[in-house]
Homo-oligomer: A and B are copies of this chain.
Amino acid sequence: MDGHDHGLHFVRTVPLFAGLPETTKHHVASAVVTRQYQRDERIYGPGDRTGLFIVHEGLVKVHRLAASGTEQLLRLMSPGDFLGETALLADTTTDHFAVALRPSELCMLDRERFKRLLGQHPGVAVHMLQTVSGRLGLAEHMVSDLTGRSVAQRLAQQLLLLADEAGRADFTLPTTKKELASYLGTTPETLSRRLATLQEAGVIRLGSGQSMELLDPASLRTVSSGG
């Protein structure tokens, strides 16, 4: 299987391109550059002038570094997700980092071709608009959570969400606890303490590594909503 076929197969699995006609999918597939990234390899960083990336395989974190050195994890991107569009649409360079958390494969569509695609296929623009709008909702939710809710509340909410995504009460974190702490806007130390508290209360059970189990989800829901 050569690069083109591989790309075409890939393009078919991307929600963003779902509505495109066959011939356009071929065009996109041949225009796209696919690359593998190792664990911890940087995909782009502040100042880079990249195109649109789409995750094919693996897990990518989008984060920002404050002057103080604090890292804020903004989002995790999984297969099918796109990233890098903010700088592209504003015609500037990026102001954040994208790093592969595991061996990953991404493809990139250069700026020119992407803009052309956007202008010629409104469906892509609309789909992208829906996605970005959803991300905005999440980000603004995060803002109000950071000011209006405690770490314990945010953690409880996140644990419920993770269990929900996994579809079961026992699951494994997609990342290290350090990254989870960053996502929740706190430190590893504080997160560790809150988790310990929950375990002592019999609400969760911490397994080895990043695995855990929710023993009392109802209790978590109470905590999450400020009980």
Q: Which residues of A contact B (CB under 8 A)?
A: 64, 66-68, 70, 72, 74, 85-86, 89-90, 95-96, 118-119, 121-122, 125-126, 128-130, 132-137, 139-149, 185-186, 225-226
Contact = CB atoms under 8 A, between A and B. Distances in A.
A140 B121 CA distance: 28
Given A122-B119, A125-B129, A226-B68, A185 B147 contact: yes
Task: List 3 tightest A-B contacts by C-beta distance, closest first.
Answer: A66-B148, A122-B122, A139-B139
B133 A95 contact: no
Contacts of A140: 64, 74, 96, 139
Give the number of copies in the complex: 2
A183 B193 CA distance: 30
Given A128-B129, A132-B132, A142-B143, A148 B85 contact: no
B133 A85 contact: yes
28 contacts: A64-B140, A64-B144, A64-B148, A66-B144, A66-B147, A66-B148, A66-B149, A67-B148, A67-B149, A67-B225, A67-B226, A70-B144, A74-B143, A86-B134, A86-B137, A89-B129, A90-B133, A95-B137, A118-B122, A118-B126, A119-B126, A125-B125, A132-B132, A139-B143, A142-B143, A143-B185, A146-B147, A146-B185
Contact of A146 (B68, B118, B143, B226): B143
A149 B122 CA distance: 40
A53 to B, nearest CB: 15
Nearest to A126: B125
Nearest to A225: B67
A72 B122 contact: no
Given A85-B133, A122-B125, A144 B226 contact: no
Nearest to A72: B144
